[in-house]
Structure 1
Amino acid sequence: MFGFNTIAALAAVATSPAVYAVSSQAYIWKNVKIGGGGGFVPGIVFNPTEKGLAYARTDIGGAYKLNTDDDSWSPLLDFADDARWNYWGVDALATDPVQPARLYLATGMYTNSWDPNNGQILISTDYGKTFTSSQLPFKVGGNMPGRGMGERLAVDPNSNGILFFGARSGKGLWKSTNFGVTWTQVTSFPSTGTYIPDASDTNGYDSDKVGIAWVTFDKASGTSGSATPRIFVGVANKGWSNIFVTTNGGTSWTPVAGQNTTYLPHKGVLSPSEKALYVSYSDGAGPYDGTLGAVYRYDITASTWKDITPVTGEDLYFGFGGVAIDLQKPGTIMVAALNSWWPDGQIFRSTDSGTTWSPFWAWGVYPALNKHYSYSNSLAPWLGPNYVDTTAGNKQIGWMMESLVIDPLDSNHWLYGTGATIQGGRDLLKWDTAHNVSLKSLADGIEETAIQGLISPPSGPSLLSAVGDIGGFVHTSLTTAPKTSFINPTWATSADIDFAGNKPTNIVRIGTGDSTTGKQVALSSDSGATWAQHYGAADNVSGGKVALSADGKTVLWRTGSNGVQVSSNQATFTGVSTLPSSAVIAADKKSDTVFYGASGSSFYLSTDSGQTFSVKGSLDSSQYPVKIVVNPGVTGDVWVSTDKGLFHSTNSGTSFTAIPGVTQAWAIALGAPAKAGGYPALFAAANIGGIGYFRSDDAGVNWVKINDAAHGFGSASANVLTADPRIYGRVYIGTNGRGTFYGDANGSAPPTATATSSATSSAPSSSSTTKTRTSTSTSTSANPTGTAPGGAYSQCGGQGWTGPTTCVTGYTCAYSNPFYSQCIPS
């Protein structure tokens, strides 16, 4: 999964030192259930000595531990907060075969400028209940190309204090001899990797070296208590050696003779009883590419390679990713097509070391497929039909299948990760007899979605979500998975969603250009149960943010690349020249003709259904407004969050009051009041003496902090909020990788402490916490003198950006969010 708010975490904070006293209120936090999955699961690892112990890693949603009693998963990194948001990018995982309670995670989100932080190895000695961090002197890329290759991190099975880690970006191979506490580079290792997915990519995402792909110990080559002599390491190289071996524990290394150098080695899995190394290859690093590949078996004793690729000729149109061996049944191996996009994913199984293979599906009478499984999506019904779909083109088996494992202590138990979920079953041995196994979605607990928008209307379903990669949902229940995602039209990603204040069953949502139709606006009059295209939208205009007027007659759309547009009564959208293309927008919830906008320090008002806007008031020295929310019962009562704090107006923006103590604010929301007839509860992801999540019951005079040490919610600036207008205290937090959480107050609120500056505040009470944060703000610079225009798809703006702000011919600098703009085709 790609992070949809990648730069947002780099937002600046307070402009000067401040100390604030804010009380904390206990909250109960739970995931809004979609049944598990929603994104790419690049790695699943079983412990070889403790039965049922398994972990999964995701690219932007952290790591999870398997619960063997019900096959569900428990998240391990929900404590990651704004300062540790890149912990949710897990690039490698290792479970200790000697002391199974030990767990290691290599974390970091990006190796390019999107993430300014170096990576780290997270170390746990209690099965992931707690972690300590070992900082690395380079970046780690859990959401970079090649993130399904691996595992890059491995524990020596004979001397478990020794670990090896393969880095990206040309940083090479690293070793620890003290259980991951410190690391040194293995300077004798001969290759740091040469493969770059796209050297022309100017933003660094596809132009970085994929690096070391995997580390595999040959336990049988050594003895318990001493370092394992023989270790194989796979490297992302094409055209020359890409698998290296040491026979002296890493002192010296040589290329394995006779190896395939045409493709990239994705996985290297050792079968100890056979003394064989199985390697899957693809011509791309994945997870999206890969059109050719191979599978090889290396006989360690004879030092010979054998091509055991399951298919050839026109049947080979994909690379290979996941490889699994059955430790209980020597010679049993399974491999997965990395990217068989049509007619479905594919998995092959062999019980004779790859001499012969049987497939998961085969062609019947075209276009029907013969699929050798029964199927259940009962845990996540939105994945598709709850039966075996033999229609070509419906990827029920999956795609992006880099993780494929067989429980080393249970031959019937198998799992594999896809681009959307984890699947598998517990009767795998039937493959070899009846050739028909039970396949089931098994990602319950892995809520791995990037939430783009949330609404909680005053009637109908309590929550609707706009979601990256899987469209979005009507959540009629918070504890039961939805039966379907948004359909007709169907978009992989919904960019935003809004409801009409006076007619809340009327909903609008927008897509990002990834549907079968070019029109990216959809309307519903029945709370999202059914949808219709907005035919007034131009083809190939997409993304951005949307606001629906109070009676549902007018759609105001800040598009991703074509400025702000408006349509009333489903007429053709027309441009709104009086509102900047980067403006934050909102509709009044009472008056059908009133819309609001904010850009820079200016606040805009429209009283003619969004046709024209005029500057109404000022947001002090703000440069980056983030969100406008409107009191659902009072026209003109608006709140605006910005890089300089939180602002409130009761006169449609003519004047604003800066809320004391709030030095920066991102997502904000208004919910049910504490008392009937009272002012709505105000929620904010903000910096109020420290970055966190807060609630005020008196319009920002007093605040309580509502998140705790176990719930950091990742990057505050990347998340979205909405509050429930029917349940006091309930708030929904949509994260960039861990799905949506809902929180309810646990008991009565503590005595409130007014957020005031350090110059005037008194010492906190025993029920309060005091935090200090010092930082500086940054700003978008003008195009530096002499700087060439940005290249195709490169960054061209955003908070702190000092590079080019214009684009090469044929490309336009399109605003994405306050922290990132990109050169896209004009």
Structure 2
Amino acid sequence: MKRSKLVIFTACLSLTVFQKSPEAAPEKYTWGNVSFEGGGFVSSVIPSKTQLGLVYIRTDVGGAYRWDSTGGRWIPLMDAVSQLDVGLLGTEALALDPQDSRRLYILAGTEYFSKGKTMIFRSSDYGNTFDTVNVTSLFQAHGNGMGRNTGEKLAVDPQNSAILFCGSRTKGLFKSSDTGKTWTPVAGTASTAGSSITSDNGISFILFDPSNGKTASGGTKTIYMGVAKTPGNLYVSNDGGESFTTVAGAPTNLMAMRAALAQGNLYITFSSGPGPHNVSTGAVWKYTTASSEWTNITPKDSAYFGTGSPGRAHGFGGISIDPKDPRHLILSTINCYSAQYRWSNKKDNAGDIIFESTDGGTTWRNLFPAWITNDGTNPNVDANGNAWIDGNAIHWAGSIEFDPFNPKVVWAVSGNGVFRTDDISATSPIWKFQSRGLEETVPLDIVSVPGGPLVTAIGDYDGARYFNIYKSAPAHEPRIGTTVSLGYGPLNGTFVRAGHITDYSSNPATEFDVMYYSTDTAKTWTKLPTPKAGKGYTVLNADGSVILHRAEVGNIVYRSDDKGATWTTVTGLDGQSSTCRIIPDPVDKNIFYILDQQGWFMVSSDGGASFTKQTRINDDQTGLYQNSSSLMRTVPGKKGHLWIPLDQNQLWQLGGYSRNGLALTEDGGKTFVRFPAVNVC
């Protein structure tokens, strides 16, 4: 999402340069992703049961993708979504038409973006093009909410392609009889509704049972509806969705996550919470539809998994049935950190357990049975050419699926991408990272070193150092996870970054703050003393001799001129400026700049020890406004040259979003020029 903002800023910057020099031809650009591969939560994997090699995934903040089986990479389907509609990249459900493999439907929306706009995307050409139906007035989706790992709550009737059902978080169930063009609420389903769009999942899944035939209107008679509530977690309709009744006998203290149906046996995973985190218990049950009999088939050895005891404090996520053998099942936990994922470089990590059954769930094979010494010769995960994933694990495995055409192949989602094994029957299956083409990181900072590497900072997975932006690059080492920002000293290529680490290798886990410093353009990092503010924003002056540091959530800025050995508090900052970005001059090591929330341009001339207000970028009396986030960009090698986008925090006004454009100062903020040709930046 932040990547899109950077693209918009760069585009308006190039436009401004063209306006300033009309005699120059505009430079041509080719836009694409800086390759990282994965880096975010893949909420679900959906293989087509009717077309070989057709697989889709949906993500919580990065849209949906289709698998290119020939090229071995994911094709993004929603990159055309604009910045104003960025919330639609949160995909909450995805449905395929069992009678027409070309047809695809996506439920999309994010509560805190785009004013909660919710759309049903409809495609008849595998997602190459879409039309959209706005359902915001009926219900709102939240693709990044709790329970996004459940599914699918959007489904196409396998016996009538015109009929779809869509579950919601807080408004019950909706039905369409015209391939998703219009939607009406299903009476009597309000009991499934949660009260919070962000924390309640409402309806988890819709599952059709064609074995009982059709209604008079041509729809499937029997429909099951799973709900993330306790009690009342499973409902059934025997009249094509006209009415639903509670299925008696279901676990009363757990929420329904996912389900799979074959030969009259409905297999359901349950968890104590909607997931993907804050889940401590769970179970797996088989419901025999003909006799209404419930059987607990939760995996166990000396005790049941999912009980909440040490090593078993988790729920259950995905479940899938081998289309060629209804007794062959695959199952995943969720929010479990007990399985050992071993890499060939001797790194290992803990994550979700995957189970296999060949007798309909009577017994289960734990594919990660024990922790063993990792000497590099017995890996069970494979980076598959990716440069950063090593040392990570499959986690948040809320969805797992057989390849319907080759049951040895199994797909599993994870909080860092998607994995696949090509032989689930192996004694120890190898799980390959299959995330090429999938780009779901949250970029937090970026530095393009003139004549050197591109250096990034991202959420969860540190960031990387690139000389080839078309290939994944190793993450910064040592790793700290979310890297809020990068301090950069352009005169000598120094960098600094800070973070907070939780070490789960000990029990209980230990937590500590770290700061690292680099003198070789982020190639290697040296640990500094424990930072004053922990994870947060870091800034270097032009030659890297001064570090400024503020906590991610905090308003005190600290200064060190001895690489973190001692710290002092920066003075001259108030409530309007203390949480703003601090921008170092790229030439003068003594100068820093701040643009505060009221448009005041502030300057430090003593190496960041103190700041004073200099001038104001906006003039309300003449209609020169700004809605900046304090982001400014300096010009390499130019003292006092800063470009300032003025629409980072756009406001909705009569007639549309605010349009303030772009400003430039070439004298360190004493004077500013605005460019009428740039409406929004």
TM-score, length of structure 2 as denominator length: 0.85
Determine the C-alpha separation between the residues in 1 that align with 2:254 and 2:375. Answer: 29
Conservation of the 8 A alpha-carbon contact between 1:604 and 1:613: yes
Q: Which residue of structure 1 aligns with residue 69 of structure 2?
A: 68
Shift of 1:439: 1.9
Q: CA deviation at 1:126?
A: 0.5
Letter of the 2:390 partner, please give it.
G
Deviation string, structure 1 residues 151-209 (Cα, Å, up to 9, x no partner): 110000000110000001x210000011101100001336223486xxxxxxx743xx3
**Contact map agreement 2:84 2:114 (CA 8 A) in 1:** no
* CA separation of 1:373 and 1:415: change in aligned 2, threshold 3 A: farther
Instruction: Report deviation, 1:632.
Output: 1.6
State the aligned residue count: 617
**SS state at 1:469 partner:** coil
CA contact (8 A) 2:541 2:589 kept: yes
Q: Which residue of 2 aligns with 1:249?
A: 240
Alpha carbons of structure 1 residues 227 and 38: separation in structure 2 relative to 1, 3 Å: same
Counterpart for residue 477 of structure 1: 468
Please tell me the root mean square deviation across aligned C-alpha atoms, in Å: 2.8
Aligned to 1:334: 330
Q: Match of 1:511?
A: 499
Cα distance in 2 between the residues matched to 1:370 and 1:216: 43
Distance 1:319 1:372 in 2: 28
Is contact 2:3-2:443 (8 Å) kept?
no
Residues in 2 aligned to 1:144 and 1:654: alpha-carbon distance in whole angstroms? 45
Deviations 1:686-721 (A, max 9, x none): 1xxxxxxxxxxxxxxxxxxxxxxxxxxxxxxxxxxx
CA contact (8 A) 2:234 2:250 kept: yes
**How far did residue 71 of structure 1 move?**
2.9
Q: For residue 756 of structure 1, what is the aligned residue in structure 2?
A: none
Q: 1:649 to 1:514 in 2, by over 3 A?
A: farther
How far is 1:582 from its partner? 2.4
Residue 25 of structure 1, CA deviation:
6.9
1:467 touches 1:494 (CA, 8 Å); kept in 2? yes
Q: Match for 2:370 among 350, 363, 366?
A: 363
C-alpha distance 171-628 of structure 1, shift in aligned 2 (>3 A)? same
Preserved CA contact (<8 Å) 1:53 1:66: yes
Distance apart, 1:403 and its partner CA: 1.1
Note if 1:423 corresponds to 2:419.
yes
Write the letter of the residue equivalent to 2:359.
Answer: D
What percentage of aligned pairs have identical amino acids? 30
Shift of residue 134 of structure 1? 0.7
The one-letter amino acid paired with 1:549 is: N
Pick aligned residue for 2:361 from 342, 354, 363: 354
3-state secondary structure, aligned to 2:88: helix
Structure of greater relative contact order (alpha carbons < 8 Å, 6+ residues apart): 1
Instruction: Please state how far the C-alpha of 1:6 moved relative to its aligned partner.
Output: 13
Q: Residue 492 of structure 1 contacts residue 514 of structure 1 at CA under 8 Å; is this kept in 2?
A: no
Q: Distance in 2 between matches of 1:146 and 1:62?
A: 17
Secondary structure of residue in 2 paired with 1:191? helix
Distance 1:192 1:509 in 2: 46
CA distance in 1, matches of 2:517, 2:91: 37
Who is 2:40 aligned against? 39
Query: Offset of 1:658 from its aligned partner?
Result: 1.9
In structure 2, the partner of 1:235 is 227
1-side partners of 2:221 and 2:584: how far apart? 67
Which residue identity lines up with residue 128 of structure 2 in the other structure?
K
Judged with a 3 Å threshold, the aligned counterparts in structure 2 of structure 1 residues 470 and 269 are, in CA distance, closer, same or farther, namely same
Q: What is the match of residue 440 of structure 2?
A: 448
Question: Which letter maps to 1:126?
Answer: D
The Cα shift of 1:378 comes to 2.5
Structure 2 counterpart of 1:660: 676
Of 74-83 and 651-660, deviating more is 651-660
Instruction: Give 1:465's aligned residue.
Output: 456
Cα gap change, 1:55 to 1:520, in 2 (>3 Å): same
Question: How far off is 1:598 after superposition?
Answer: 1.3
Give the aligned partner of residue 718 of structure 1: none
User: What is the DSSP-based 3-state SS (H/G/I as helix, E as strand, rest coil) of the residue aligned with 1:42?
Assistant: strand
C-alpha separation in 1, matches of 2:185 and 2:6: 32
- Aligned in 2, Cα 1:624/1:370: closer, same or farther, shift over 3 Å? closer
**Inter-partner Cα distance in structure 2 for 1:625 and 1:266:** 39
Q: 2:345 maps to what in 1?
A: none
Q: Distance in 2 between matches of 1:350 and 1:371?
A: 27
Which deviates further from its counterpart, 218-227 or 94-103?
A: 218-227
1:216-244 deviation digits (Å, cap 9, x = unpaired): 01122225992100000001111x22100
- Deviation of 1:517 (Å): 5.8
Evaluate the alpha carbon distance shift between residue 567 and residue 96 of structure 1 in structure 2; reply closer, same or farther with a 3 A threshold: same
Matched letter for residue 210 of structure 2: K
Shift of 1:611: 0.8
Deviations 1:238-282 (A, max 9, x none): 1x22100011101121111211121111001112xx211110011
The residue aligned with 1:646 is: 662
d(CA) in 2 for partners of 1:268, 1:6: 36
From 523, 534, 542, the counterpart of 2:535: 542
Structure 1 residues 114-154: Cα deviation after superposition (integer angstroms, max 9, x where no partner): 55133110000110001111111221100011110111100
SS of the counterpart of 2:31? strand
* 1:576, distance to aligned residue in structure 2 (A): 1.3
SS at structure 1 position matched to 2:86: helix
Match of 1:171 in 2: 171
Q: Does structure 2 retain, via aligned residues, the 8 Å contact 1:172–1:211?
A: yes
Report if the CA contact (8 A) 1:40-1:59 is conserved.
Answer: yes
Given that 1:469 and 1:492 are in contact with CA atoms closer than 8 Å, whether structure 2 keeps it comes out as yes
Partner SS state of residue 565, structure 1: strand
> 1:379–1:442: 8 Å Cα contact kept in structure 2?
no
Shift of 1:478: 1.4
Q: Which residue of structure 2 lines up, in the alignment, with residue 107 of structure 1?
A: 108
Structural mapping, 1:661-810, within 5 Å: 661-664=677-680, 686=681
| Partner of residue 150, structure 1 | 151
Question: What residue in structure 2 maps to residue 703 of structure 1?
Answer: none
AA aligned opposite 1:362: P
Deviation readout 1:326-355 (Å, 9 max, x if unpaired) = 011121111101111235320100011001
Q: Give the Cα–Cα distance (whole angstroms) in 1 for the partners of residues 674 and 260 of structure 2.
A: 59
Task: Confirm or deny: 8 A CA contact 1:40 1:421 kept in the other structure.
Answer: yes
* 1:610 match: 608
1:537 Cα deviation from its structure 2 partner: 2.2
Deviation of 1:64 (Å): 0.2
Q: Which amino acid aligns with 1:282?
A: S
Give how far 1:108 is off. Answer: 0.2
Structure 2 equivalent of residue 765 of structure 1: none
* Match 1:280 to one of 232, 255, 269: 269
- Residue 562 of structure 2 is aligned with which of 565, 569, 573? 569
2:599 aligns with 601
1:624-648 deviation digits (Å, cap 9, x = unpaired): 4532222222212222222443222
Q: Describe how 1:134-149 pairs up with structure 2 within 5 A.
A: 134-136=133-135, 137=137, 138-149=139-150
Q: Which amino acid aligns with 1:441?
A: F
Displacement after TM superposition at 1:33 (Å) = 1.7
CA distance in 2, matches of 1:581, 1:256: 56
Q: 1:657 to 1:364 in 2, by over 3 A?
A: closer
Indicate conservation of the 8 Å contact 2:580/2:630, yes or no: no
Contact kept in structure 2, 1:628 and 1:640, CA below 8 Å: yes
Contact 1:536 1:572 in 2 (8 A): no
Task: Specify the SS of the correspondent of 1:87.
Answer: helix
Taking the aligned partners of 1:53 and 1:280, their CA distance within structure 2 comes to 25
In 2, the alpha carbon distance for the partners of 1:635 and 1:7 equals 25
1:6 to 1:231, Cα distance in 2 relative to 1, 3 A: farther
Shift of 1:5: 10
Confirm or deny: 8 A CA contact 2:500 2:513 kept in the other structure: no
* Secondary structure at the counterpart of residue 86 of structure 1: helix
Work out whether residues 87 and 107 of structure 1, in 8 Å CA contact, stay in contact via their aligned partners in 2.
Answer: yes
2:53, 2:431 → 1: CA distance? 18
TM-score of the superposition, structure 1-length normalised?
0.71
Question: Displacement of 1:37 after TM fit?
Answer: 1.1
Q: Does 1:584 align with 2:581?
A: yes
Call closer, same or farther: CA 1:615–1:190 in 2, change over 3 Å.
Answer: closer
Do the aligned partners of 1:62 and 1:87 also contact (CA within 8 Å) in 2?
A: yes
| Separation (CA, whole Å) in 2 of partners of 1:499 and 1:31 | 23
Structure 2 distance, partners of 1:464, 1:373, is 30
